[in-house]
Amino acid sequence: MKIMTSLAALLASASLCHAADISGGVVKIGVLNDQSGVYADFGGRTSVDAARMAAEDFNAKNKSIKVEIVSADHQSKVDVASSIAKQWFEAEGVDAIADLTNSAVAIAVNTMGKDLGKITLMTAPLTTALSNESCSPTGFHWGWDTFSQSVGTASALLQRNEKDWFILAADYAFGAAMTAELDRVVTAKGGKIVGQVKAPLGAADFSSFLLRAQSSKAQIVALANGGMDTINAIKQAGEFGIAAGGQKLAGLAVVISDVHALGLKAAQGLIVTTPFYWDHNAETRAFSQRFYERTKRMPGVVQAATYSAVLHYLQAIAAAGTDNGTTVAEKMRATPVHDAYAPNGRIRPDGRMVTDMYLVEVKTPAESKGAWDYFKVLDKIPDGDTAAPLSASKCPLVKEAKATAK
């Protein structure tokens, strides 16, 4: 009896010590994204649901660590996002911020997290700056970026002899980065950029931009935008008969909710590169069914990535025994990522989480078996081809890792 009593006391003491390593007694994660604008369906409130699913799954095995999920709408405005992030980090005890839809917002918040030693889990923005010149020892870019979306899609289409390209890009950091990547890969592989235009965020009328694309006679019209901008551009492209005239649309930041909003009649034939599709295998289907029961929609790339990143972060806290940002970041980098989103994920020194991706084509109405059955997988893109090589990195963390390895 005395032995059992002593053991119970020891376990209780260990539990209290463990809890003492969690600042404020709770791990607090903020999901900061667009919940009312053009990207509201891209991540939005269902990204918050994904983070809560990750917290619940973690707590099912780690009941001693309390987790709280908070959220806010940054309205795709850098000043609004920065104000919220500052309040969260400095006054409200938030340990990590996830999602961060919008590249300019992500860069600003990631920089703040770097200065404060706080974790950023960037699951929605695509700019490669986040793992290059704007990289952070506590910042993680999850799964996709402008390199994966442009190089993956362009390489596959160029192999099909689709050489002439026209780019319709969003007029902010993401669009600029995507245009630069496309220009590089298309030119390097023997293709040609025959024209490009920049459209403001939230534009309702893409007619002038699409007419220029149509008159260019380009084989591929690449849409380097996202959310409602992509949906509106595809709808209006159909009205102008761009696809009917023989030109093909390539959506470089298309998520499944975009296709759902468009319908297969408008979206059929669209070529997309994605790290996640809900109906890809048994594991993705099981996760997605749980998400559907909660939200009445299938998860897209951003929701699945947010779940993955938040779960990996929490698992690293449990393994490290602390929520100290620097310590947890080191544990995250040292631990492989394995879940429905990233069955073989790994985090590079620059904070980029890489995993296999897939080239998919949107099905025709006749090919689909029903709601959300939208993609057919054309090819698998191995993880080594989904991110820019570290040899070309501008991230100082890469040089530090190489020096340490020596």
Structural domain harbouring 236: 148-274+357-381
284-296: per-residue pLDDT in tens? Answer: 999 999 999 999 9
Does residue 307 form part of some domain? Answer: yes
Cα atoms found within 13 Å of the Cα of residue 61, Cβ hemisphere only: 8
- 133 plus 163 within the same structural domain: no
Does residue 387 form part of some domain? Answer: no
Does residue 8 form part of some domain? Answer: no
3-31: per-residue pLDDT in tens? Answer: 444 444 434 434 443 444 898 999 999 99
Tokens of 371: 């709601």
Position 338, amino acid:
H
> In angstroms, rounded to a whole number, what is the distance separating the alpha carbons of residues 197 and 205?
14
- 269 plus 293 within the same structural domain: no
Any idea what the CATH number is for the domain that residue 322 is in?
3.40.50.2300
Does residue 247 form part of some domain? Answer: yes
Q: Indicate the pLDDT class of residue 367, thresholds 50, 70 and 90.
A: very high
Query: Which three-class secondary structure state does DSSP give residue 348?
Result: coil
- 239 plus 327 within the same structural domain: no
- 268 plus 374 within the same structural domain: yes
- 182 plus 256 within the same structural domain: yes
Return the pLDDT at 6: 40
Domain C-terminal end among 335, 350, 365: 350
- 361 plus 222 within the same structural domain: yes
Tokens of 325: 């940002």
Average confidence (pLDDT) over 344-368? 95
Average confidence (pLDDT) over 359-372? 94
Return the pLDDT at 11: 43
Does residue 14 form part of some domain? Answer: no
CB atoms inside a 10 Å sphere around CB 281: 11
Return the pLDDT at 405: 67
Does residue 390 form part of some domain? Answer: no
Tell whether the model's pLDDT for residue 198 goes beyond 50: yes
Average confidence (pLDDT) over 321-325? 96
Does residue 302 form part of some domain? Answer: yes
Give the number of domains in the chain. Answer: 2
- 236 plus 373 within the same structural domain: yes
Please state which of the ranges 46-50, 176-180, 336-340 shows the lowest mean pLDDT: 176-180
- 136 plus 33 within the same structural domain: yes
Closest CA to 220 of 167, 159, 145, 178: 167
Return the pLDDT at 4: 41
Average confidence (pLDDT) over 142-165? 88
Q: Indicate the pLDDT class of residue 49, thresholds 50, 70 and 90.
A: very high
Return the pLDDT at 31: 98
81-93: per-residue pLDDT in tens? Answer: 999 999 999 999 9
- 362 plus 335 within the same structural domain: no
Tell whether the model's pLDDT for residue 269 goes beyond 60: yes
> In angstroms, rounded to a whole number, what is the distance separating the alpha carbons of residues 62 and 66?
9
Tell whether the model's pLDDT for residue 406 goes beyond 70: no
Q: What percent of the chain has pLDDT over 90?
A: 72
Does residue 297 form part of some domain? Answer: yes
- 56 plus 165 within the same structural domain: no
- 30 plus 132 within the same structural domain: yes
CB atoms inside a 10 Å sphere around CB 373: 14
Please state which of the ranges 97-101, 146-150, 165-169, 316-320 shows the lowest mean pLDDT: 146-150
Tell me the average pLDDT of the chain: 91
- 343 plus 369 within the same structural domain: no
Closest CA to 307 of 334, 339, 278: 339
